[in-house]
Structures are given as C-alpha cells and as structure tokens.
Amino acid sequence: MIAFCKATLAASSLMFISAFAQAAAPSIPVQIEQAARAELERQMAASGLSEPQFEIAVVAPRPTPPCSQQVAIEALDTRSSQRMRFVARCPDTPGWRYEYTVRARVSAMVAIAAAPVAANEALSDAQVTIERRDISNIADPISNPADAVGQMSRRMLRPGDILRSGQLSSPVLVKRGDAVMMVARREGIEVSMAGEALDAGGKGAVVRVRNAGSGQVVRMRVAGPGTVEPIDMELNR
C-alpha cells in the first residue's frame, strides 16, 4: 500500500512538473513567431539592410496536444517573408507534428530615387536619398545610397521608386577596341603596359585584353576609364 501511494505520488509529481513546464513555456504560436523573427533578423543582417522592422502574424494558429518534452521548432521554407513555413514537432512517443504559415511585413531604410532618372542615366548624389520602405516583395533593395550613385538605371525612375541592384548597372568605362593601360601593383611596385580591349565593361567587369607587345590575350578587370588590372588585385572603389 505504501509503495502504491509512493508510485502514485511520483506520477502525480511528474504530471505536475510537466504541466508547470508547459504553462511556463511560451505557446506554440508565440514560439513560431519568435523563430520567424530570428530568421528575418538573420536575413536582414546578411543583406546589410539597416534598421529593419517586422510585423509578423501566424496564420490561423491551431491548438496543439500536450507535450511532456520541449517542442522543436524548425523552418521549412523562409524564402518569401510573406509566406514562411515552420513546423512544430513534439518528440514524445507517440508525438505529433504540425505545420504553420507565417506572413511578415518587412520594412527597412533603403535608397530611393529623389528625382526623376532617365533610362541609361547615371545617378547623381542629388537623385538618391534614403527612406524607410516596405520591402516585403523586393529581393534586392539597395541600403547604402553611395552604392547607387554613379550607377546607370536600366529604366526610367520616378521620385520615390526604390533602387534595386538588379535594375542598375555600372557605366561602360572600356569599349571593345579601346586602347587600355594594363596596370599591376605589387608591394609598392607598379608595372604598366599597353593593351587593346576585346570586350566592353563597366568598373569591376572582367574583360579580355590583348597585350600590345606580346599579342597574348588575358582576362583583366576594369579599374577605371581606359584602365584594367589583374583579376586577383583588390578592387579600388
């Protein structure tokens, strides 16, 4: 009888501890929201966007059965902030598994057009500013206005348009057939020789160049107007 009472008391204690742990832990939808926020913060940090803000909602959160162990939260698909998928998994035997959909609105400080920009026009300082915008549906916004200045827009821009890296390109600094100077710098020593560009490209583009002296064709990187350098050299901004 005493042994039975002890066993009953032990079982009751375990049930109490489990119930207390479940009550102390955040609800599953809250844990899903926390996981989504952490993932969005990771993505924003990787993209370099400044001052990101999130509005996160778990779509139709469903009640879950009790779980005596810690519920595992895993990301299934986080490619689109407006439709992220997570799973909550209980490791009990038998356990359970439920999927959740999360919709998030993401805003950040991004570069925008401050004035009209014609197609193929290089952006000036006066044409670029920074504002907070909703970027939930934009994969490649530019965060630093300095990264847009000097770039050419592939299409016409209106004031307020968000500047996107996929819509901008570097101005052509070297044209096919141009005489170029091949410059290499190593440990304070600079060597230069004449060459002919066989491709066109903007700053940072890799083009073929024929050495005017030897006739050898090499791949070089555009460093500036009429100037190319070895690909392994650090690009000067």
- Give the pLDDT means over successive 10-residue stretches in the chain (237 positions): 45 42 70 95 90 93 88 94 95 92 96 93 92 93 91 92 91 90 86 92 89 92 91 63
pLDDT, residue 14, reads 39
Give the burial class of 45: count Cβ atoms within 10 A of its Cβ; 0-12 exposed, 13-18 middle, 19 or more buried. Answer: exposed
pLDDT for the residue numbered 7: 44
Per-residue model confidence (pLDDT) at position 24: 54
Instruction: State residue 20's pLDDT score.
Output: 41
The alpha carbons of the chain give a radius of gyration, in whole angstroms, of 29
What pTM did the predictor assign? 0.65
- Residue 221 token pair: 């990187």
Give the pLDDT score at 234: 58
Cβ proximity of 142 and 128 under 8 Å: no
Res 5: pLDDT: 42
* CA atoms 210, 202, 230, 193: torsion sign: positive
pLDDT of residue 211: 93
